[in-house]
Structure 1
Amino acid sequence: MPELPEVETTRRRLLPLLQGKPLLRVRHQDPGRYRHTERAEGARLLDLGRRGKFLLFALSGGLEMVVHLGMTGGFRLEATPHTRLTLEFPSLLLHFHDPRRFGRLWVVERGDYREIPLLGRLGPEPLSEGFQLEGFLQGLRRSAKPLKALLLDQTLAAGVGNIYADEALFRARLHPLRPAQELSPGEGERLYRALREVLAEALALGGSTLSDRTYQQPDGRPGSFQERHAVYGREGLPCPACGTPIRRQVVAGRSTHFCPRCQG
């Protein structure tokens, strides 16, 4: 958290507020976590993009401000007790809220990601035209990792995290510990389609806001896809398809939720 739907929702909400405006000042007290921010001061925001879970602020002067929201980060129009950084635009303050302090920000020459190597390793965007079934199947065949671990490593599909990996595996009726290379072409296609469906639905609903409410849209509104979670966060509750209690297990260091019957 946040994952592709939450980061893309944030991008869509911020772009019309910021496009064309100069970034007057960046205020924070953590230069180790928020890198080279003085370079951005005075630059104008040209565009706001996204790659995986990263926000990409295109600035004038050939600069780019890259933001990773971490586990609990998000931009807010109002300051909070967990505001770690503030971007000052004319007549607008944008606050970076991050209770657990895992978020990061870098100001770099546009496209120079040497300080951010993960950006160079990301796989295709799963909601883009470049996310093709054949390439997805090839990625599955090349990996002996459990499906959940492969979905989390960002090389098969950029931006997928814990929530949407669990939900996609449930829709595809695949166990999270199943080795990826053992899937048949038909099973791989089920996962491909389930992943796209889940992400598109979540994006349409503004993402998932969990009980800790760490993710909210910049204006404070929650997402609502959490109301459709079939397995994530529902340990012990009945599977919506068969009634079997949802099980939780740690896979690749992350809590993983699945139905032992539907995904057996």
Structure 2
Amino acid sequence: MSALDFGFLVLAGVGAGLTGSIAGLASLISYPALLVTGVPPVTANMTNTVALSLLSASSVSASRPELAGQRRRLLRLGLAGLLGGGVGAALLMLTPSAAFEKVVPALIGAAALVLLVSRPPAELAAEGVREQRVHPHRDPSWLPLGTFVVSIYGGYFGAAAGVVMVAMYLLTTGEGLPRGNALRNAVLGCANAVAALGFLLFGTVVWSAALPLAIGLFAGGLLGPPIVRRAPQALLRRLIALAGLGLAVHLAVQAYT
């Protein structure tokens, strides 16, 4: 890999880290950046997952205070995340690469639409807390199953898996945004970790691309929160969603022509 590609992936990682902080859609930046540098689609997805899993470890470590008191919940949902991530990774490695190339535009388009129509996490958190006060209840019995399904998608591709998962947790657990987001980071981190392990053992990872991407993701993750606090989030979320729809159309044209 050339020095130009290395620098490009670092910058793409920074952008992906910022996008992840704003909208939970880091893969909308990091995955196509790997394609631009010549990494084949399935290999790019595996490499992207490995790079993101390195970032997940630091996010979970930083979320330990918010995870306090959620040990039993985290054990249940973390196990579902591990199983789902493993199933998603297996699906990716066992299905033909041509099938992946054809389905990815639809997945990216769906992820962008989810972001475009979903409410901001802060609103969902407020609604979940109000519901918990009016009708106190335990976590619904189907929550591990829902986590398992979302984690399958996370292990297979992952764009917007975090958006769906945090919305599910905020609306069902009664937790506020910091604790719900920390729970999402930990559970999705489990799914990414087992998928990344599977790709390392049985797939193909381009380390020369994963390293600069991980460096950029780490930097973007650090820069993201201060920027998010000051930036107009609604506008940024719409712009990112529209960019995702444009990317989906571009990849669809490539895949089907």
TM-score bin, normalised by smaller chain? under 0.3
Of structures 1 and 2, the one with the larger relative CO (CA 8 A, separation 6+) is 2
Q: TM-score of the superposition, structure 1-length normalised?
A: 0.24
More strand by proportion, 1 or 2? 1
